[in-house]
Amino acid sequence: MWRRLLSVRRWAHVFRRIVPLLRSSRIPFREKLLFAVPALVYWIIPDVLPALPIDDVAVIMLLMNWFTERAERKYGA
Res 55 pLDDT > 80 = no
Rounded CA separation 42/55 (Å): 10
Tens digit of each residue's pLDDT (9 = 90 or more) over 3-49: 666 778 888 989 999 999 999 999 999 999 999 998 888 777 766 66
Band of residue 53 on the pLDDT scale cut at 50, 70, 90: low
Radius of gyration of the chain measured on its C-alpha atoms: 13
Indicate the domain borders of the chain.
2-75
Residues 6+ apart with CB under 8 A from 44: none
Statement: the pTM of the whole predicted model exceeds 0.95: no
CA–CA separation, 18 and 9 (whole Å): 14
25 secondary structure, DSSP code:
S
Name which residue leads in pLDDT, 51 or 56.
56
* 62 alpha-carbon distance from chain centroid: 5
